[in-house]
Copies of this chain bind each other. A is one copy, B any other.
Amino acid sequence: MVQNGLKPRGRPRSFDESDALEKATQVFWSKGYDGVTIDDLVDGMGVGRPSLYAVFGDKRAIFLRALKVYAERKGARATKALLSPHTLRDSIAGFLRYAVESATEKGSARGCLMMCVAPLVNDAEVQRFLQSAVAGGVALVERRFREGITAGEIPPDFPVTARAIQVTDFARGLTMRAQIGTPRRTLLKDAEEAADLVLLPPRRNAVPRR
């Protein structure tokens, strides 16, 4: 246990670990997984080759850590976009808008590391992580729908699970189109219309009153 907070013994590192991971994210995002070479990572992360192997391991290990960093940051922002607004409609639209905005950000590659790059990595751990991320997204939206029922914004028979899945499928569809170059404004408009759609009240079996 001893040396927590104490100065480490040898020569100090010339890079910041989490900073380097952040940069790795950009490298993978812009070049894909198979498209990235160790030299790309050495250049992009600003970490010398032997240090890179010593501290992070090989390409697969670096990608796993970068993916988790990315997912955590993106998940936090998506959660904020979803849970901050007061009205349900603003929440859902905000969630989808965030998906579009983050997928069309200038300066970064278009799309999303989790949806456009990671699925192609043939690796069981990556796949498991992605599945849990998908499930987490659905659960989050589902929770917001339940709050909407409590607040009386949607009827108690609103199919929360199905609609939550549909919201996240929309996010995926929008992100995909972002990746192939669909303009942001188009996608933002489509996000609004998707929000309208998933908030439509379900068909009642009962005969409408009045």
User: Which residues of A are interface residues toward B (Cβ below 8 A)?
Assistant: 32-35, 87, 89-90, 111, 115-117, 119-120, 127, 130-131, 134, 159, 162-163, 165-166, 168-174, 176-177, 179-182, 190, 193-194, 196-198, 200, 202-203, 209-210
Cα distance, A163 to B190, chains bound together (Å): 10
How far, in Å, is A192 (CB) from chain B's closest CB? 9
User: In whole angstroms, what is the CA distance A144 to B182 when docked?
Assistant: 23
Closest 7 CB pairs of A and B: A169-B173, A34-B34, A172-B173, A34-B35, A130-B180, A162-B193, A172-B176
30 contacts between A and B (CB under 8 A): A32-B33, A32-B34, A33-B34, A34-B34, A34-B35, A35-B120, A89-B210, A111-B119, A116-B120, A119-B176, A120-B120, A127-B181, A134-B177, A134-B180, A159-B193, A163-B197, A165-B193, A166-B190, A166-B193, A166-B194, A166-B197, A169-B169, A169-B170, A169-B173, A172-B172, A172-B176, A173-B173, A176-B176, A197-B197, A200-B203
Using CB atoms, name the residue of chain B closest to A35: B34
Tallying the copies of this chain within the complex gives 2
Query: How many whole Å from A187's CB to the nearest CB in chain B?
Result: 10
- By a CB distance below 8 angstroms, the chain B residues around A180 are 119, 127, 130-131, 134
* Chain B residue with the shortest CB-CB distance to A170: B169
* Distance from A3 Cβ to chain B, minimum over Cβ atoms (Å): 41
Dominant SS among interface residues on chain A: helix
